[in-house]
A and B are shown apart, each in its own frame.
Chain A
Amino acid sequence: MGLPSIGIFLTPELWFWVAVYAIVSLSLNLEAGITGIPNFGKHLAVIMGAIVGAALPGYLGVHILPEEAKQAIIEAAGKGSLPSYASSYNSMISTYITNYYASHPAVSFAMFALTIITAAVVGAIVGLLASYPAARLKEDYLAITLLAAAEATLIISYNAPALGGTQGLTVPNTLTWLDSLTSRIVGRNMAHQVSSLIVAAVVAATILWYLERLVRSPMGRLLKGVRENEAAAQALGKNTAAIKLRTLMMGSALASIAGSIFIMATLGWIATTYNRVSWTFWAWAMMILGGMGNNRGVLLGTFILASIRQLITYYKDAIRPYLPFDPVWLDQLVLGSLLVVVLMLRPEGIFAEKTTYPLPRKMLEDKAAAR
């Protein structure tokens, strides 16, 4: 058993999960850990981003297909007109669009960029809407409201005909521009996985860099001020509602980007993937395990839990014969007990939030000494 468990750390799959979850858990850390908004509806923004990732490259892609491709689809469908992207011909249409993207890297890249940007905008709008209750409700009511909003969105999107209803959608590949590069290095089979990983990792690293700078800035201290004592922040003339609004818009935009990247990687949409356990509660567990308010801690928490999940997935077939039940449920036992155990034994997480300084502490001390 020793070797393969090391082996999973060599797969792009694990690192893709780490990167995508890092985006979500870091954005949650911005909202809940740093600013103190208990967002229990984190999956709402992820769903919206995934919807953008599922709909945009397909609906828009159909229209930019060359005439002969459109004709081919019409003939295959035999209906005399172009069938909808979300119709029963979805899989065939997606293949045509993917092929078109593959032969036009510039179009593919443009579609990729457009999808990410649209997802971010849609996410920001979600944050804008969420800020309305966030400015008015106390902790527990707010948590319930945001959770309920996400759940309702999930149900509606699961039943929406434009998203293939309960059957879901096959989504065209907008990463073909990158796949063609990576395939030369890692081969065709791994190409898409590796390019998904690259995209996710670049976004995650950028966010980490940005958030680390943010917590050291006056703005970061203000956010923590809102968390620690909202009344005091207001008394100092800070518009805390506006601060929460900006935080939620930012956090939701980031989570939404994660949702769209997830779709780009998996190339399939089914609403139930974006449930509260997978995208809200796991993210909370990662944040709490690592240490709320501490970005690097959250990153470590993300890595540990993504690895545990991956190990369970990896070994479930091996242990299945010995268990009278499906090993996937162990996932839930681990997550559930972990949340409680961390709260009991180490509520501040592995890395407790540290006092942050505008400059590295050493440098400040040197400056002070020089004076």
Chain B
Amino acid sequence: MGMGLSVRNIDAGYGKLQILFNVSFTVPERKITVIVGPNGSGKSTMLKTIFGLTTIYKGEILFEGRNIAGMAPHKIAKLGIAYVPQTDNVFGKLTVRENLKMAAYGMDESIVADRIEEVTSMFPILSERMKQRADTLSGGERQMLAIAIALVRRPKLMLFDEPTAALAPKIALEILDAIQRLRDEHKITIILVEQNAKRALEIGDKGVLLVGGKVAFEGGARDLLEHPDLARMYLGLMAGE
């Protein structure tokens, strides 16, 4: 078993409200797996479930051959998985530097400065804003900071929840470009949940379609994009568009 992740027969939800029903799929390593589906189909819940933020009723989530279902989120973080939530993904009241320090929580002090240096070199604009409070950043800058704090631990697997939502088109492309670089240059395995299915599937390697909390399709991203029925029915795309 490599670095990939495999979700097996997961039932999960919030308290007594079940959202996911017997969900299984695998995430190949060093690839981008895109989870798409209509609103309310459980895409975000799936990411939260991987990160231990929901109630799991049954099933397994294997990461590096280890079952992480039911582990506390702060422990999952230390295994090399990072999660970038859709909203509230930076600490607005802390400065950019404090946000980055926060991301290095529990790490050896001697390497923290290097890591902060490393991630800010990926997003140079952040190094100009180190002493600013995060809630004074623009939308794009915030998203970059959110990705940067997820990168501080050099994760092996990153979960992105609609990273381009509410961003101007130009900035959204920049963010998706950055995610591709994470795969190609940093060899990170990525799970991407996106509202804009077409754009996401175009940069993705694998596609998973969730409908009503169940897996309706699992296969190549391009296959899903060009699927004659599914793409039109659930993603609002004309085949071959």
Direct contact of A and B (CB under 8 A): no
- Give chain A's interface residues, CB within 8 Å of chain B: none
